[in-house]
Amino acid sequence: MQTQQGNQSQTFRPPPTDGSLVLPQIFDYNGTQNKDHTLFRYHDDVSGAVVDISWGKANRAFHTAARIVQEKVKDIGTRPVVAILAAADTITYYSMIAGIMRAGAVAFPVSVRNSDAGIVHLLRKTGATHMFVSQDPGMQGLAAASLKQMPDSTITTSDMPSFDALYSAQDGELLPEAKNISLDDRGLILHSSGSTAFPKPITFTYRILMESGLLPYYGELDLCGEILSSHAVPMFHLMGAVQVAWTSYTGLTISVFKPGMPTVPTPDRVYEGAIATKSTMIFCVPAFLEAWARDPARLPALQAFNTIIFAGGPLQPHIGDMLVEKGCCIVPLYGQTETGTVTLFLPKQPPPEGYAYFRFSPHVAPVFVPYEENSAVHRLLVKKTAVHTPAVINTEVDGVPALDTNDLVERHPTNPDLWRVFGRSDDQVMHSTGEKTNPVPIEDILAKDPKIHTSIVFGRGRFHAGVIVQPTPNEAFASGDVEKLAAFRNEIWPSVEAANRIAPQHSRIFKEMIIVADPSKPFEFTPKGTPRRQAVLDAYASEIDAAYEAVTESSQIHLAAPSEWSQGSALTFVRQAVDKVLLAPVKDDDDLFQSGCDSLQATWIRNTIIHALRASTRVNTREIPPNFVYTYPTVSGLATYLYDVVCGTRPPSAEEQAAAMVAMARKYSTIDGKKDKPMTTTADTALLTGSTGYFGTYILDALLHDPGVKKVYVLNRSDAPKRQKEAFADKHMDVGALERVVFLEGDISQVGLGLAPEVYEELLDNVSCVIHNAWRVNFNVGLATNEPLVAGTRYLVDLALAARPAAARFVFISSAGVFRNIPSSTYCPETYIEDPKTVAGWGYSESKWVAEHILEQVAQQTALKPLVIRPGQLSGGPNGYWNTKEWFPALVKASQTLGKLPDLEGKASWIPIDVAARTVVELRTSEHSFVNVAHPTPGPALDVMKPLSAALGLPLVSYTEWTTLLEKSGSAPGLLEFFRGQGVRMAVDSVEALGFPSLEVKKGLDAPALAGTVNKPLGEADAARWLAYWLSVGFVQGSTPVSRSRL
C-alpha cells in the first residue's frame, strides 16, 4: 500500500485494513468514529443549498433499513439473498444495500434494464427469497411479470423504502453489534450485462469487497475529502455498487442527485449536478464526456476537475486527445464485474504516452498470453493473490487459481508497463454508450445465408453497430455498383432481420449500415479460416467512417412510396416504415417514444418519409421541419401529416380560417318550423350528451343530486352503462344512483340523433332541458374534422325546439378556448363573440365558436334562449381525480422525468371540476345567455406549485429553463409545442398562469356552488388531493403517505 488514505483529514479516521472488521462492521465504525465526516452530498435546487449527509446520519439510516429488512425477510439468520429491483435515487439505493448487509443478508441489486425472463433466471440462480421493488408502475409491472413465471416460487416482495422513510427517523435505537461475520461470507451479488445470454450472477464475499475498498491505497492519490460526482452511475452496476466499499474504506465523499424521485442522468444533468455540488472529480461513461467536450463553454469546468474518470467503453481518440491538450486530467478505469477494477486507482496524471494507456494496480497479478502473431496484443488472465481475489475462477496459471477475462490488451510500443484495451477475445463490441454488442450470434446467423461467405460486426466507440459482409465468390461485385449493392442488401435482408430479432436494440443492424466487401480488398484470414478481425476493420476504416457519416441522411429506400397518395395509402406506408424500424408492433395511436423509439430510430423514420416524398412528389422537402416525428409521434398522426404535406396543405391565414368558420355556421343556422314557440319554465327532465367523459361524469352526478331533477336521459355512442359505472367508481361517486338514468345509444351527428323514432318521440314528450356536453377533445384536428359535432349541436337544437308542449331549455358547454387570441391581460366578457378571428387557429375552439354562433342565431330567431357556459381550466374533483391526459398532470409527470418543476407565474383561476358541474346544473334555468365559469377569487399558481415541489422533491425553476430541459430530454414530445406556445403567451401577458385567458366571472355567481368558492383560492389541500390520486393510479412516482404528510 503506497498511499495511506485520510492522513490529512480532521474528520475521517480510516478503519482497520487488516480484515479484522468486515464491511457491515465498518459502517458502524464510521458511524461512530467518523460520524461528522461527509458521505453524501447533493444540491437542493429549491433552497440553492449544498446539503451534506454525514456518516453518523447515514449509518442510522442503514440501521433503519436493516430493521425493515429484518421485519420483511424470513429466516434472516440463514443469510438469505435479498434482491432490489428499483428505480431509486443513489442515496436511498446505497443505504438499502448497506441495510441489507447490516441486517445479515446478502444484497442483490438487479438491473432495471433486464427483461422479465432475465430476472426470473437471476432470481432462480441466486436463490433470492425476497425482493424490494420501487413503487413506480414500471418496476411493479416488471416484478409482477417475473414472478408470474415462477408459480412455484416462495419469493416475497415489499415496497422499496423511500429516502424519507430511511432518513427521517434519526433517534431510533441502533441494532446490536454485528457479529459472526467472516471475510469469506457472501455480502453482495452483482450480475453481468447479459450481452451474450442471460445475465450471470457474480458473488462478492466481504473479502472481495474489502479488497475493492482498499484499491485506492495502491494508487497515487489520497481520496479522503475528495468529492466524486457519481450522478452518472447506477447503483445496480459495478461502477455504482463499488462505491459502497470505496467510501467506507477511504473517506471519499460522493455527490449525487437530490434524493426523492430518481433523476434520469443525462449529460446536461450530470454536468450541472457535478458543478452545483462543487465536485472535485467526476465519474461517467465516455458518451457523457464526449457530449461535454463538444461545448467549448464547459471546457474551463472540465479543466478544473482534479480527475475525470471514464469507464464502460472507449473514448473517441480525437476527443480524448483534445481534452488532454487543453489540460484536462482524464483517466480510464478498466476492470470487470468478475475482477473489480484492476488499473491503478488513481494516478496523479495520465501517462505522457497517451491518456488511453494505464498501469495495472500493484496488488493485481495479471498474466499476459500472446494473441495470434501480434506480440503487442495479449489475452489477459488475472491470478488470485493474497490481496486480490477474482470473484470468478475459471482456470489456473502455474497451479494458481485465475480468471481468464477473455479481454485483449495491447502493450505500449516503448513503455512495457503501459497497456490499453484492445477488445474482447470473444469480440464483443463496446459502444460509446457503454452498451456492448456481441457479434458472434449475429455473425453466426448471417453465415447461414447462402450468399454470405463471412461477416464482421463493427461499432467500437460508436453509437450503434454495423456489419461488413463478404459475399460468396459467385455473388461478389465491385463496391461502386450501386444497383448491385442495393439488390444484394435486399437479398440478404431476411437474414439480417433474423439476427436483429435476437439482438438487443443497440445491436440491431440497419440496412444502410451493411458494408459489402469489395473483391479488390478481400478479408484476411487466420490459419484456422476465421477472418482477422482487426486487420479487416483497419482495411475498411474509411468505408466504416463513411457509413456513419451517411446515417443521418439514410432511409429505408427499399420501401416504395405509394403509387397514388391517399389517407389510406399514407397510413399503410407509415405503418411499414415504423414496423421495420421498431420491430415490435405498435398500434396506430400508440406514442412511438413511449414504445421504445429512440432518436436514431426517429431519424430513420423521418428520412424514410422524406425519401418517399422526394421519390414520388414535387414537395419541397427542405421546408419540412426536422422534428415532425416528435411533433406527430403516432402512426396515425404521421400519416395525416404526410398526406397533408402531399396535398399541399399549408397553414391557412386568419382570414381564411374565419371565413371557413362563418361558412360552417351559416350552413347550420337556418331555422325551420315554428319560431314563436315558448320556452318551458321548468327543467326537471334532462337530456345530457357526453355523460361518460371527464366533465360529463361530474355533470351527471350533479343532476342526480339536484332535488329539482326528476329524470335524466343520457345520450352516448356505445357501451355507455359499463363506461359510466367505471367512471363513477373511479371518482368515488354513487354507482347506485345510475339506476335512475335512462341510457340511450345514438349519434348526434345524424338527423334524429340516430335514435329509433319511438325513442325520439319519447324525448319530445318528456325532455325539458338539454345539456349538450359531448365534444371531441383533440387539439390537433382542424375545423372540418369537427363538423359532425357542429351538426349535432343543430340537431339537438331541433329537438329542443320541437319538445312538447314547450321548447326545452338548452345549455351548451363551450370553452374558454374561444378567447384564445385575446391577451391574457384583457378580461374576457360574458357576451357573444362576433369576430371569428378572436378564435381562429385552433380547430377545437373554432368549432366551439361555430356552435356558439348557431345558438346566437337561434336566440335571435326563436323564443328559445340557449345558455352558453364557457368553463375555464377545470382542476381535480373531491377525490383528487384530474384527467391524466390534460396539460397540468402531463406537466407534473414530465417534471419528474426532468427532475425539476416549472415556477408558474400568474394566477390560477382553475375551478374544481365538481364545482363547475354543479354550477352548470344550477344555472340551467338562468336567463343569462353567456356565462364564464372560473374561480372568482384566484390565488397565485405558486400556491399549488410549491407544495407539489416539496412533496415530489422537485426544485422549482423558471418556465423558460423547464421548457428548455423538456426539449433536450425528448420526453413528452407531443406536448412540447403546446408548452412552448403557452410560454410565448405568458412572456407577453402573465396575469394568468401559462398565459391562459383571464375570464370575467360575474353572472356565474348566481350559482351557489360557484359563489361558495369566493375567497377560497386553490392551495395545499387541493394539491394534496391531486397528487394522492395520481400516485394511487401510478401516474406519478413516489410514496403516497409521505407525499400526503409533506403536503
Residue pointed to by grid coordinates 400516485: 1031
Instruction: Let me know whether 90 and 237 are in one domain.
Output: yes
Residue 69, pLDDT above cutoff 80: yes
Kindly state the DSSP code that residue 126 receives in the 8-state scheme. H
Q: Which residues are paired to 379 by β-bridges?
A: 369, 408
Residue 375 within any structural domain of the chain = no
- What string of DSSP letters covers 267-315? HHHHHHHHHHTT-SEEEE-HHHHHHHHT-GGGHHHHHHSSEEEE-SSPP
Percentage of the chain with pLDDT > 70?
90
On the question of pLDDT at 461 being above 80, the answer is: no
Which pLDDT score, from 0 to 100, does residue 283 have?
95
Tell me if 741 is assigned to some domain: yes
Q: Is the per-residue pLDDT at 977 higher than 80?
A: no
Give yes or no: residues 859 and 760 share one domain: yes
Round to whole Å and give the CA distance between 357 and 369.
18
Give the three-state DSSP class for 423.
Answer: strand
Band the pLDDT of 528: cuts 50, 70, 90. Answer: very low
Rounded to whole angstroms, the Cα distance separating 824 from 786 reads 26
Instruction: Indicate if the pLDDT at residue 973 is higher than 70.
Output: no
Position of cell 464547459?
A: 298
| pLDDT one-digit tens code per residue, 824-841 | 667 889 999 988 888 887
Question: Is it the case that residue 708 has pLDDT exceeding 50?
Answer: yes
Q: Is the pLDDT of residue 1045 over 60?
A: no
Domain presence at residue 602 = yes
Q: Rounded distance, CA 506 to CA 434, Å?
A: 10
Q: Which of 513, 503, 501 is nearest to 462 (CA)?
A: 513
Report how far Cα 889 is from the mean position of its chain's Cα atoms: 15
Same domain? 785 vs 865: yes
Cis bond upstream, residue 805 (ω within 30): yes
Domain with 176, as residue range(s), is 23-284
Q: How many domains does the chain have?
A: 4
Kindly give, in sequence order, each residue whose CB lies less than 8 Å from that of residue 226, ignoring residues fewer than 6 positions away: 252, 253, 280, 281, 306
Range 151-165 average pLDDT: 93
The pair phi, psi for residue 229, each rounded to 5°, is: -70, 115
Instruction: Name the region of 1002 (left: φ>0; alpha: ψ -120 to 50; beta: rest).
Output: alpha
Q: Which helix (H) or strand (E) holds 441?
A: helix 439-447
In this structure, what C-alpha cell is assigned to residue 701? 352526478
State yes or no: cis peptide before 1027, omega within 30 of 0: no
On whether residue 310 sits in a domain, the answer given is no
Contact (CB, 8 A) for 188 and 128 = no
Q: Is residue 1022's pLDDT more than 70? A: yes
The pLDDT assigned to 101 comes to 97
Task: Write down the mean pLDDT value for the chain.
Answer: 87
What is the per-residue pLDDT across 211-248, written as a single tens digit (0 to 9) for each?
A: 999 999 999 999 999 999 999 999 998 889 999 999 99
**What is the reported pLDDT for 343?**
95
Write a three-state SS string for 619-664. Answer: CCHHHCCCCHHHHCCCHHHHHHHHHHHHCCCCCCCHHHHHHHHHHH
Would you list the DSSP string of 248-279? HHH--EEEEPPSSS-----HHHHHHHHHHTT-
Is residue 196 predicted with pLDDT exceeding 50? Answer: no
CATH number of domain containing 78: 3.40.50.12780
Does 579 lie in the same domain as 541?
A: no
- What is the average pLDDT across 185-210? 85
Q: Are residues 171 and 264 in the same domain?
A: yes
DSSP reduced 3-state for 546 = helix
Q: What is the DSSP letter of 82?
A: E
Domain membership flag for residue 348: no
- CATH number for 491: 3.30.300.30
pLDDT digits (tens, 9 = 90+) for 819-878: 877 766 678 899 999 888 888 877 788 999 999 999 999 998 888 899 999 999 999 988
1021 burial level (CB within 10 Å; 0-12, 13-18, 19+): exposed
pLDDT of residue 428 exceeding 70: no
Query: Each residue of 979-1016: pLDDT tens digit?
Result: 776 765 565 445 788 878 889 999 999 999 999 999 99
Judged by phi (left if over 0) then psi (alpha if -120 to 50, else beta), residue 313 lies in: left
762-789 burial string, b = 16+ CB within 10 Å, else e? ebeebbbbbbbbbbeeeebebbeebbeb
Pair 682, 768: CB distance under 8 Å = yes
CA distances from 432 to 329, 391, 538, 645, 920 (A): 20, 27, 19, 37, 59
Which of 297-301, 475-479, 634-638, 902-906 has the highest average model confidence (pLDDT)? 297-301
Domain end marker among 871, 900, 925: 871
Residue 1029: how many other CB atoms lie within 10 Å: 23
Strands 711-716 and 685-689: parallel
Provide the residue type at 691 as one letter.
S
Report the share of the chain in percent with pLDDT over 90. Answer: 54
pLDDT of residue 590: 78
**Both 504 and 612 in a single domain?**
no
Rounded distance between C-alpha atoms, residue 771 and residue 697, angstroms: 13
For residues 534 and 581, state if they share a domain: no
Structural domain contains residue 990: no
The residue among 1034 and 807 whose pLDDT is bigger is 807
What angle, rounded to 10 degrees, do the helices at 635-646 and 599-616 form?
30
Query: Alpha-carbon distance 842 to 1037, whole Å?
Result: 33
- Residue 1017: inside a domain, yes or no? no
Sign of CA dihedral 889, 892, 894, 896: negative
Q: State residue 579's pLDDT score.
A: 85
Quick one: pLDDT at residue 1044?
29
pLDDT of residue 447: 83
Q: Which of 555, 580, 599 is the last residue of a domain?
A: 555
Of 253, 284, 315, the residue at which a domain comes to its end is 284
Residues 145, 239 within the same domain:
yes
Q: How confident is the model at residue 16 (pLDDT cuts 50, 70, 90)?
A: very high
Task: Identify the helix (H) or strand (E) that includes residue 711.
Answer: strand 711-716
CATH code of the domain covering residue 762? 3.40.50.720
Confirm whether pTM is higher than 0.75.
no
Residue 1041 binned pLDDT confidence (cut-offs 50, 70, 90): very low
pLDDT tens, residue by residue, 272-282: 999 999 999 99
Residue 713: is it exposed, middle or buried by C-beta count within 10 angstroms (0-12/13-18/19+)? buried
- The CATH number for 641's domain is 1.10.1200.10
Residues 233, 99 share a domain:
yes
The answer to whether the Cα torsion of 1025, 1030, 1036, 1041 is positive or negative is positive
What pLDDT does residue 840 have? 81
**Do 943 and 968 form a contact (C-beta atoms < 8 A)?**
no
478 class by beta-carbon count within 10 Å (0-12 exposed, 13-18 middle, 19+ buried): exposed
Written in H, E and C, the secondary structure of 451-503 is CEEEEEEECCCCCCCEEEEEECHHHCCCCCCHHHHHHHHHHHHHHHHHHHHHC
Pair 550, 572 in one domain:
no
Integer Cα distance of 551 and 603 in angstroms: 9
Same domain for 52 and 194, yes or no, is yes
Assess whether 59 and 144 both reside in one domain.
yes
Residue from 972, 140, 909, 353 nearest 630 by CA:
972
Q: Which of 303-317, 490-504, 909-923 has the highest mean pLDDT?
A: 909-923
Is the residue at 629 inside a domain?
yes
CA–CA separation, 336 vs 190, rounded Å?
11
